[in-house]
């Protein structure tokens, strides 16, 4: 899908929200059925599926009318809409938005029927020993890792729920032989399948196999343009060389590739060189991961950036994003705030960890509303994580277990978890005073890591500088106490 087609579909989602907000349309959409049924109706509209009976024929004509009316009313060409919906991943995403609005109405930020994206920490096994590892990974499988049959059952539940994108992470997902079976099945459902990996195992034949089973995006971690810095962070000599080779092999196999860099005081001054390297390697995306002191990261808490340093990083990323040369993102929800300031000047909006929108001039006033729809931190609202044993958490970096897929049922937990429901209500966060709370919301994992409260302050932002200074002095006091 081209960028302009993507923007049109995103614009349509924004306008569908306005059209579908009324109670009559919401009750009609609820009657259309489950996420899978709605996805099929959208496929019929796009011309890639056939109705199997009279009911489907009738319902597909109804959904066609709603989509055609919305498209013409808001200047989206029907052809580009149908084109966008030919991708099964887009159909799954739009069905989820339709049902989210039908069930919850218009909310700020928007609540969804199922997570748009799930990150699955597929295994705890890993061949590296990274200092900032949130998973405390090791070379051996955890005793409670799911069996292959159990993993396939998890996938079946995600498919039924209508999850649009599934990212395999870990540990190192490529260390698990089950990965190849489960990822292939996931791609067959039409989900957007991606892999977050250290890249060291991606030999040319592995890259080709990833492409062949339907993986669409590979995100490879690289901490520095300097091999020695990366290797010392990753705990293994030669890790940088192999990761860079993994990037080249993935590109050569025709995969979309991103570089992920966890930004700390050690490497943040090297970011311009990292971005240069990302461009030389011709990757499609560069993502600066927000450092979160959880897992082994707790031991290097003093490496966290100050609010001022973090804004420097975000400004640098945003200027790259705006230049159009590199899709540069951050997992800090503050990136949405930084990007919002650029939208008025014709720049892009980056309201999630993985999407950017160039808002057409005639719809600039929609920019803020669309940002509030997507809403910055997605934990427990448009995204969640699953651990190697089937446990469900709001985010890979936020280690609070709210249920287990096999014991409690995925969708049941998504709809009924008390913590998830609290995370969806920004007016009860520490951030409730802030005008950006619906577009940013702060990183809930950082709030939990620093204050033990997932609704507490994220000490990253300009409003919380005093809190940051208090944290710095308390860390210094602890270090002095330990050294005596």
Where on the chain is the footprint of ligand SF4 (CB under 6 A)? 331, 333-334, 337, 353, 377-379, 383, 395, 397-398, 431, 434, 436-437, 440-445, 458, 461, 463-464
Shortest Å distance, C-beta 268 to ligand SF4: 18
Shortest Å distance, C-beta 258 to ligand SF4: 16
Maximal C-alpha separation, the chain: 79
From the list 320, 286, 204, 294, the residue with the least C-alpha distance to 252 is 204
Cβ-in-10-Å burial (0-12, 13-18, 19+) of 474 comes to exposed
C-beta separation of 440 from 446 below 8 A = no
The smaller minimum CB distance to ligand SF4, of residues 174 and 440, is found at 440
Shortest Å distance, C-beta 315 to ligand SF4: 15
The smaller minimum CB distance to ligand SF4, of residues 178 and 458, is found at 458
Residue that is written with structure tokens 């319902």 in the block:
59
Helix (H, G, I), strand (E, B) or coil at 420: helix
Through-space distance between the first and last CA atoms of the chain, rounded to whole angstroms? 61
Give residue 46's Cα distance to chain centre. Answer: 26
The smaller minimum CB distance to ligand SF4, of residues 93 and 399, is found at 399
Residues 6+ apart with CB under 8 A from 4: 80
Shortest Å distance, C-beta 121 to ligand SF4: 13
Shortest Å distance, C-beta 95 to ligand SF4: 22
From the list 91, 90, 89, the residue with the least C-alpha distance to 40 is 91
Shortest Å distance, C-beta 430 to ligand SF4: 7
The smaller minimum CB distance to ligand SF4, of residues 80 and 330, is found at 330
Cβ-in-10-Å burial (0-12, 13-18, 19+) of 105 comes to middle
Shortest Å distance, C-beta 207 to ligand SF4: 27
The smaller minimum CB distance to ligand SF4, of residues 288 and 377, is found at 377
Question: How many other CB atoms sit within 10 Å of the CB of residue 58?
Answer: 10
The smaller minimum CB distance to ligand SF4, of residues 45 and 397, is found at 397
Question: How many other CB atoms sit within 10 Å of the CB of residue 131?
Answer: 17
Shortest Å distance, C-beta 200 to ligand SF4: 24
Which tokens hold the place of 36?
Answer: 């899978």
C-beta separation of 116 from 163 below 8 A = yes
Helix (H, G, I), strand (E, B) or coil at 145: coil
The smaller minimum CB distance to ligand SF4, of residues 182 and 445, is found at 445
The smaller minimum CB distance to ligand SF4, of residues 84 and 333, is found at 333
């Amino acid at each position: 899908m081209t960028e302009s087609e993507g923007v049109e579909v995103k614009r349509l989602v924004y306008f569908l929200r306005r059209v579908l907000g009324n109670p009559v349309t919401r009750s009609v959409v609820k009657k259309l059925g489950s996420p899978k049924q709605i996805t099929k109706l959208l496929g019929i509209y796009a011309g890639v599926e056939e109705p199997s009976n009279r009911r489907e024929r009738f319902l597909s004509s109804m959904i066609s009318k709603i989509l055609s009316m919305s498209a013409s009313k808001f200047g989206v060409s029907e052809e580009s809409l149908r084109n966008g919906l030919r991708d099964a991943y887009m159909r799954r995403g739009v069905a989820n938005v339709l049902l989210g609005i039908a069930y919850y109405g218009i909310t700020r930020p928007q609540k969804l029927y199922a997570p748009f994206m799930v990150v699955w920490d597929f295994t705890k096994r890993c061949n590296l020993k990274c200092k900032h590892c949130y998973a405390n990974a090791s070379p051996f499988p955890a005793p409670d890792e799911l069996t292959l049959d159990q993993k396939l059952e998890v996938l079946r539940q995600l498919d039924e729920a209508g999850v649009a994108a599934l990212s395999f992470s870990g540990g190192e997902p490529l260390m698990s032989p089950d990965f190849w079976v489960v990822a292939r099945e996931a791609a067959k459902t039409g989900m957007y399948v991606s892999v977050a990996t250290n890249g060291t195992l991606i030999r040319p034949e592995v890259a080709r196999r990833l492409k062949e089973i339907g993986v669409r995006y590979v995100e490879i971690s690289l901490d520095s343009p300097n091999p020695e810095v990366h290797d010392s962070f990753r705990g293994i000599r030669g890790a940088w060389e192999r990761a860079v080779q993994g990037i080249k092999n993935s590109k050569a196999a025709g995969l979309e590739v991103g570089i992920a860099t966890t930004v700390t005081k050690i490497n943040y001054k090297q970011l311009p060189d990292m971005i240069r390297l990302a461009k030389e390697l011709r990757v499609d995306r560069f993502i600066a991961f927000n450092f979160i002191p959880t897992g082994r990261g707790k031991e290097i808490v003093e490496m966290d950036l100050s609010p001022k340093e973090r804004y420097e990083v975000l400004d640098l990323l945003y200027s790259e994003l705006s230049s159009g040369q590199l899709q540069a993102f951050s997992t800090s929800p503050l990136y949405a705030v930084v990007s919002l300031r650029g939208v008025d000047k014709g720049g892009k909006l980056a309201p999630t960890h993985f999407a950017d929108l160039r808002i057409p001039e005639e719809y600039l006033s929609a920019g803020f509303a669309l940002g509030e729809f997507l809403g910055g931190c997605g934990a427990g609202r448009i995204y969640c994580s699953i651990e190697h044993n089937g446990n469900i958490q709001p985010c890979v970096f936020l280690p609070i277990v709210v249920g287990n897929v096999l014991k409690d049922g995925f969708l049941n937990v998504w709809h009924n978890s008390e913590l998830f429901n609290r995370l969806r209500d920004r007016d009860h966060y520490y951030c409730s005073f802030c005008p950006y709370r619906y577009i940013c919301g702060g990183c809930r994992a950082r709030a939990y890591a620093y204050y033990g409260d997932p609704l507490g302050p994220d000490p990253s932002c300009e409003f919380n500088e005093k809190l940051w200074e208090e944290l710095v002095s308390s860390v210094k006091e602890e270090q002095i106490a330990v050294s005596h």
